[in-house]
Amino acid sequence: MAKGYWVSVYPTIEDPARLDVYNELAGVAVRAAGGRVLASIGSRVDAHEAGIAERVVLIEFDSFEQAVAARASAAYQEALAALPEGFERDFRIIEGLN
């Protein structure tokens, strides 16, 4: 079964400290859903073309369906409600190759 991945890129974050509540709630939701953070804050990025070298987060789940369900979970919806104003985010759920 192919794994599922959350890929998030934050091109604009006006005040990173304002994401602390979201980060805490999202971390709890991801762990509860079986997700594993593979890359996050502090990871090195070598961006090319229109690539963004700002914060990039990569989270792995055992399946694509598990990744989709984690995004829809009540716990992650609570985290989303805590996202502050003043940032942009490009969030995708992708299916890995077998």
All structural domains of the chain with their residue ranges: 4-95
Q: What is the CATH number of domain 4-95?
A: 3.30.70.100
pLDDT digits (tens, 9 = 90+) for 51-78: 777 788 999 999 999 999 999 999 999 9
DSSP strands (E only) in the chain: 4-13, 36-39, 56-61, 87-95
Instruction: Write down the pLDDT at residue 58.
Output: 95
Inter-residue contact 9 to 59 (CB < 8 Å): no
pLDDT of 60 reads 98
